[in-house]
Amino acid sequence: MGYSIKTIAQKTGLSQYTLRYYEREGVLPEVSRDANGNRCFHDEDLELLSLIRCLKDTGMPIAEIKQFITLSREGREALSEQCKLLEAHKRQIEEKIQFFQSFAQKIDHKIAYFNSLEQEAKAEMK
Amino acid sequence: MGYSIKTIAQKTGLSQYTLRYYEREGVLPEVSRDANGNRCFHDEDLELLSLIRCLKDTGMPIAEIKQFITLSREGREALSEQCKLLEAHKRQIEEKIQFFQSFAQKIDHKIAYFNSLEQEAKAEMK
DNA sequence: GGTTGACTTACAGTTAGCTCTAAGGTCTAC
DNA sequence: GTAGACCTTAGAGCTAACTGTAAGTCAACC
């Protein structure tokens, strides 16, 4: 009835340490427990974890994710604020994409330049 | 007659601390000094710093940048290895772009979902 | 000639985000 | 009934990448 921390670690790719840390820090809302006091994750937790990963891996700091999650507990009154947070983050992701694309180009030019130097060096060897 | 560390900090947006740290760590090759022992940056340093920033901001760890810079000092023999490093990194950037794009989409869906919840809530208010 | 300001070094401190250890509880299988 | 696998908490430790401090050098101005 529900997933153990081990299972969730496997399913999410996060370590058990990290999962406990997230709960401690309020990044993940309190996970329910079984009769022995062991964590008992549910599908909603999995879903939330997937969103958390998405936010984290796109560069949102833990503290901000926590803020977002805290808003979740406030129900419908907080929805518009949550939306604002997500929208602001999405703009940041888009900026990063632009940034990365221009950097990929720059690196491309560097590679081309290095290759030309290499050709030159080979020509001199003859 | 070369730029002071303060000027370079302004030009690059990196702090003086960071610039010294980079030199100490070998991320930036040794900077030449004036008669008083003060750092005296040149345009080549600026150019290299621009590449370093590009690598760092696209997620290359300091240690790897150092490796790349160390190769620079080995001259033409190291060119192909440098190219390999850059090409590998470029692939990583491209993966990240893909990843970010899919995450941006996911966040979009979430925003749409939240908006629909909000509309619902408003409808109930009437 | 004293103070101000920019620089130097060596090294200690900070932050985020984990990651690990120690000490212990509980269940299952032999 | 004990070994092993699983879990728990509290709290210490780690890594990367800075960031700050202390003590000192040097040149320029009043």
pLDDT tens, A42-64?
Answer: 999 999 999 999 999 999 999 99
Distance from C-alpha of B49 to C-alpha of A52, rounded to nearest angstrom: 34
What is the rounded CA–CA span in Å between residue B95 and residue B61? Answer: 17
* Strand segments (E) across B23-99: none
- A17 falls in which pLDDT band (50, 70, 90)? very high
- A37-46: pLDDT as tens digits: 999 999 999 9
Question: What is the total residue count of chain B?
Answer: 126
Q: B111, A58: Cβ pair inside 8 Å?
A: no
Q: How far apart, in whole angstroms, are the C-alpha atoms of residue B17 and residue B21?
A: 6
- Tell if B121 CB is < 7 Å from nucleic strand D: no
Rounded to the nearest 5°, which phi and psi values hold at A62? Answer: -50, -45
What would the mean pLDDT of A75-96 be, rounded to a whole number?
A: 93
Place of tokens 């996911």: B106
**Chain B partners of A82 at a C-beta cutoff of 8 Å?**
114
B46 residue type, one letter: L
Chain A residues within 8 A (CB-CB) of chain B?
A: 51, 54-55, 57-58, 76, 79-80, 82-83, 86-87, 89-90, 93-94, 96-97, 99-101, 103-104, 106-108, 110-111, 114-115, 117-118, 121
What gap in Å lies between CA B123 and CA B126, rounded to an integer?
6
pTM of the model: 0.91
